[in-house]
Structure 1
Amino acid sequence: MDTAPLPAPGPLTYRDATPDDVKPLVDLIESAYRGESARASWTSEAGLLEGQRTDVRGVLEVIEAEGSRLLMVETGGELVACCQLEHRGPAAYFGMFAVDPRAQGGGLGKRVLAEAERRARADWGVGEMHMTVIIQRTDLIAWYERRGYRRTGQLLPFPYGDERYGLPQIDDLAFELLVKPLDD
């Protein structure tokens, strides 16, 4: 990921990713969660996971899956954030959320999350947004709670043994389902 300063903040543009966008998306996601650029970021999973966060195949699967989209967020022509939206009946799933570490802390994540919620409601008519967060990520869970998400207590196992999701550094990783009602 580039370490040069981002362009001056301007209007954000949102668009659905295409297969041509896979490489920059992988770079963005990796920079937000893994490696040196992520270590200075509050989204870093250092200490919990090493290795990759995603790969070309994983990003391409999200882009090409039925009922799924990978939303790209750009400013000044530069990719600054992304998120996955997947239609799951009465709910939408929110995942693969990444904000360029150079753009974190200024409210960009809040804006992207709000736009994702708006699009899920408008495009699919869903009443809830669902997501899963590693339970050890207490700061991140608290951030989502401040945005109206609630913890459900429903835990899902971490995919130990599948290196596509990283190399666990501790033995008790699990995901918790977070849910937010999407009001009209």
Structure 2
Amino acid sequence: MEEKDWNAIAQQAVADDEAFDELYEHFFPKIYNLIYARVKNAATADDIVSDVFIKMVEHLAEFDSSKASFATWLSRIATRTLTDYYRWQSHRQNVEWDDVFSPSVDEKERPEGQLLVKEGKSELLMALGKLSEREQRIIELKFWGEMSNKEIAETLDVSAANVGVILFRAMGSLRKILGEE
């Protein structure tokens, strides 16, 4: 499958509604998952993601592909918007793991299957909570933000090699915490 040139599509989206729709459709789930993984509340995530895309629209003409990829540029907007949100909040909200990682749970699952899945997800959530803030952030960007190590590096202003090392160590720590080694 051929990779799309999101930088070029972003530049077209300034004046082309179809290009804008394509950008939005592709990046919305990634940004939503990234924000949702941090705030753990659907209504709050909806508000923050709306702010991210409003800022994207307001500043799309300023996007410069020579400075960063569109994915990195948009991730930085999301990160800054999330930081702004936390500045105005005194505490994080707690929700069930299922709300974070599977907002559309299939109601047809048998109850015992749902219980096993929920227990496994709860264990993973607790294990993630034992990692450093940096490790959690990189895992979220990698798996929920679906970003490459290079994009994560650009977003966090570290080297791609450093991202790879931190990710490798974090995954090893998770395996140890979960008792898989």
Q: Larger helix proportion, structure 1 or 2? A: 2
Q: Larger strand proportion, structure 1 or 2? A: 1
TM-score norm. by structure 1 comes to 0.30
TM-score norm. by structure 2 comes to 0.30
